[in-house]
Structure 1
Amino acid sequence: MNRVIEGLAGKFQVFRLNLRRILSGAVARNALSLYSIRFANYILPLITVPYLVRVLGAEEYGLLGFAQGLVAYFSVFVDYGFDWSATRMISVGRDDPESVSRTAMAVWGAKFILLSVSIILLFPVTVLVTKVRTAAALVWIVFASLAGKVLFPTWLYQGLERMTGIAIINISVRSAGLIALILFVKQPKDLLLCAWILTIQSFLAGIFGVGWATFRLKIRWSMPSVSDIWGSLKNGLALFLSASATTLYTSGNAFLLGMLVGDFSTVGYYVAAERLVRAAIDALGPISQAFFPKVANLAHASKDLALREGRRILRVLAPLGAGIFVFTFALAPEIVRIVFGTKFMPSVNVVRILSLCIPNVALATIWSTLMMLSFKRDYAVLIILFLAGILNIALALLLAPIWGANGMATGVVMAETFVNAASFIYTLKHGLNPARFRPAYVRNS
């Protein structure tokens, strides 16, 4: 028994020391800033959920989730993987202000072109698809929020490791949006007003984000060349395709479920559960996002140093992911009752099923995002995510018509498990797995 206690104490000491290393220096400040952005993007909206599900009801809330799920596909198209590819480009050239400004102009130019194409693509969807046509006004209002996403330069601040400014912007704008929702959205017929408030806050965040970049980061505005825009698109192609594949088993599930089941109440139960679990998963995200520029630079200089850093992060993310999973699974009934109310108790099983994604995402983030992308194995990530997306759609078509929201959730978990397993095997096979990394002094002893 004493040996067990000593062993657990030793593991906790390792976890504490690695956490202390992670929570030091500029990377820690960026991680905290990213947490505040995630707080603004996910936790603040989650605070409004108990209110919105009560005033809108399951059906209207499901309809909102359905529209947001459709727009999520266009959001991925507009983002084009720039949150990772542009971050990597800016991180490498951040000591050259001219290079940073040139990259920023190219990325913004590419995003505006992609937004224009998205408008053209959405129009026939809202006319020809019956379920979408009945909610066309709502879909277009939600779609308008993409203008804010085009403007908001998370990739720029992340690459420069200057996240504090946009953290302040995000929290301020989204807090104001939260207050507006509570003040003006009072009943189910206020659904369109609710969507407008969410869209306006996204646009304001984008405007302030651009302003901060211009006046505080001294970004020089100029007309990007066609070759620069094309270069940014080419550089981000693999990551865009990866993000598109990811959407097949993450953001677009509410839309897919809405197309497969007969009522939007089922979609509402699923969306509520998904957002709750995604908020838990996003508690892990800022660590990987904050460390990505550092690990990418280390990978460029030394494979051993990058793997050493990955091992430290793994020793923090793995136990955190396991702990959040146990907490979410065990307390799902109480969490749903408090957050959504008794009318949303059908979401409990969905929460428990989706909570299995938490440890899978925690580990897959290390294998795929930090290691494979840092070592520029973009197309390997693409293949894994594309296969996971196809698996998710196939399982949704099979399970959702039978088990509804529970079937959709089961397909998502199996897709996330596939990503985790495939990424682990790839990094293991190619010597990029930090779990198997042995420092040089150990290998040579």
Structure 2
Amino acid sequence: MIKKIFGGFFISNAAQAGLQFLMIPLIVRALGVEEYGKWGLFEPAIYLFALIAQMGGNWGILKLVNVDKIDVTAALRLCLELAIGPILLAITLACVWGALQFKFTYAILLMPWVIVAEAALGLGLAAARAKLLALPYMLGIISKFGILALFALINITGDSVLVSSAVQWLAVYAVAVTIAAILANYQILKQNKTLPLDLADKKKFKRSAMKYGVPMLISAVFATVLNNADRFIVSSVLDKQTLGHYVIALKLAGVLNFLITPVALWWPTARFQHIEDPDRGQAFFAKMSIKFTAAYSLAGALLCLAAPWILPLLAPGVYIEASLLLPLILGVVIRAIEPSLNIGLLQENKTHLLIYTTALGAFIQITLGLLLAKYFMAQGVAWAFVIASLCSLGLIHYISQRIYKLVFPYLKLFFCLLLPFVFYCIVSLSKFQLFI
């Protein structure tokens, strides 16, 4: 099992993070800062509408396969059928959003295609994870981002740029995600080892999938708002050039995903395993909370220090102020620490409580972001993200402790979070004084 997780699954996620990072300078060069900022609005919107289209089936598959013991092919077929109605709702919402946000007929025509393909890919990847099928997972991830990266390179190597706008890049994205969805789903469905299910069984298992998946879906929708509302606030309040710079700063903060993604892949399995420890996981969870906090905070501080050297590679000619980058990186760190302090809310029949915690974070993010943007521009929106992330983390941990009480070394956690960034501020201040 460990070999499967850290084999194909680890390679796939590492390749995804690496290709996404390498594509940034290629896309920025082809589209320009303003159009890249527009693409930064498409990305979370696609993810959000694809979530709605799946109707929680991506989590429902995990339950059907691992709890209800349904064959993975049958589970995938059931959830694909379940998604037909939600897909129609999702593409309608996506078209309305595209018309209001961009007023481009081209984008309105592309969004339904992208949402259907992204939803199908999401269900296929969920089925692969549910049964630890590394090959379809690798095919889905690497084909999608490999095609995008290859085209991004080809796009700027000729005499003229082939794709120069966010909407045109959306068309390329549609092709890539469609190929990835076909490859991933075909590898699972070709086995054709479906259990014979009559109409009553189908209804029962669909209800089972929805009962488990819909609360997770609602929570994920609010979490998506929490993670991405800042760029839409910047878009609505500030100019397009500022939006482009803000999205580039977000991508730079996303370098931390090289560390976060592999750990996030391993953590859910480890959490379930150590709940069964004689001490209910007390020693493990306390130790891992320290390791999570120390590792992510140190990585965040080092990224802040390395930013002046990374940014010219990421977006040549673009300058990002440290006062904007610091809160964005700090917010990402806080969000990454959250799973290690949330044990109780992921217990059976408790996942619905995540809806309230993520909803609160999203509300704070939007309200505070709009308020601070008027006085502190993009930096105010970034700090609103930090504050909202802290509030979400605090509430999640509080409710988690009410459900599954553990003792955490809070003082050590505080210093592990704070000290690396204090060190960064001291080094930055010293450099500034030397420069003067």
After TM superposition, is the score higher than 0.5? yes
Q: Is 2:30 the partner of 1:30? A: no
Amino acid at match of 2:354: V
Structure 2 residues not aligned, in runs of 5+: 410-436
Which residue of 1 is the match for residue 249 of structure 2?
Answer: 273
| RMSD of Structure 2 on Structure 1 (CA) | 3.1
Cα distance in 1, alignment partners of residues 278 and 213 from structure 2 = 23
3-state secondary structure, aligned to 1:250? helix
Which residue of 2 is the match for residue 353 of structure 1?
Answer: 327
Cα distance change on mapping 1:196 and 1:126 into 2, 3 Å: closer
Which residue of 1 is the match for residue 76 of structure 2?
Answer: 104
Which residue of 2 is the match for residue 144 of structure 1?
Answer: 113
Cα distance in 1, alignment partners of residues 196 and 23 from structure 2 = 37
Which residue of 2 is the match for residue 240 of structure 1?
Answer: 217
Higher relative contact order (CA 8 A, sep 6+): 1
CA contact (8 A) 2:344 2:401 kept: no
Q: Is 2:271 the partner of 1:295? A: yes
Q: CA deviation at 1:47?
A: 0.7
CA contact (8 A) 2:143 2:176 kept: no
CA contact (8 A) 2:155 2:162 kept: no
Which residue of 2 is the match for residue 4 of structure 1?
Answer: none
Q: Is 2:285 the partner of 1:314? A: no
Cα distance change on mapping 1:180 and 1:38 into 2, 3 Å: same
CA contact (8 A) 1:59 1:265 kept: yes
Cα distance in 2, alignment partners of residues 106 and 306 from structure 1 = 35
Q: CA deviation at 1:206?
A: 0.8
CA contact (8 A) 1:367 1:433 kept: no
Which residue of 2 is the match for residue 440 of structure 1?
Answer: none
* More off after superposition, 27-36 vs 158-167: 27-36
CA contact (8 A) 1:177 1:198 kept: yes
Q: 1:214 aligns with which of 154, 177, 189?
A: 189
TM-score w.r.t. length of structure 2: 0.81
* 1:106-132: CA deviation from partner (whole Å, max 9, x where unpaired): 2222233221111223334444x3x43
3-state secondary structure, aligned to 1:145? helix
Q: Is 2:18 the partner of 1:43? A: yes
Structure 1 residues not aligned, in runs of 5+: 1-25, 437-445
Cα distance in 2, alignment partners of residues 145 and 432 from structure 1 = 43
Which residue of 2 is the match for residue 6 of structure 1?
Answer: none
Cα distance in 1, alignment partners of residues 395 and 24 from structure 2 = 35
3-state secondary structure, aligned to 1:346? coil
3-state secondary structure, aligned to 1:236? helix
Q: Is 2:210 the partner of 1:228? A: no
Which residue of 2 is the match for residue 328 of structure 1?
Answer: 303
* 1:145-185: CA deviation from partner (whole Å, max 9, x where unpaired): 22222222222122223335412442244223211122135
Cα distance in 1, alignment partners of residues 54 and 273 from structure 2 = 23
Q: 1:398 aligns with which of 371, 385, 400?
A: 371
CA contact (8 A) 2:30 2:163 kept: yes
Q: Is 2:259 the partner of 1:283? A: yes
TM-score w.r.t. length of structure 1: 0.79
Which residue of 1 is the match for residue 138 of structure 2?
Answer: 167
Cα distance in 2, alignment partners of residues 234 and 124 from structure 1 = 28
Cα distance in 1, alignment partners of residues 284 and 133 from structure 2 = 21
* 1:274-319: CA deviation from partner (whole Å, max 9, x where unpaired): 12223414632332333424534665x6784555554564354333
Q: CA deviation at 1:424?
A: 2.3
Q: Percent identity, aligned pairs only?
A: 14
Which residue of 2 is the match for residue 132 of structure 1?
Answer: 102
Count of paired positions: 402
Cα distance in 2, alignment partners of residues 59 and 89 from structure 1 = 44
Cα distance change on mapping 1:252 and 1:140 into 2, 3 Å: farther
Q: Is 2:225 the partner of 1:259? A: no
Cα distance change on mapping 1:199 and 1:126 into 2, 3 Å: closer
Cα distance change on mapping 1:38 and 1:82 into 2, 3 Å: farther
Q: 1:178 aligns with which of 132, 149, 158?
A: 149
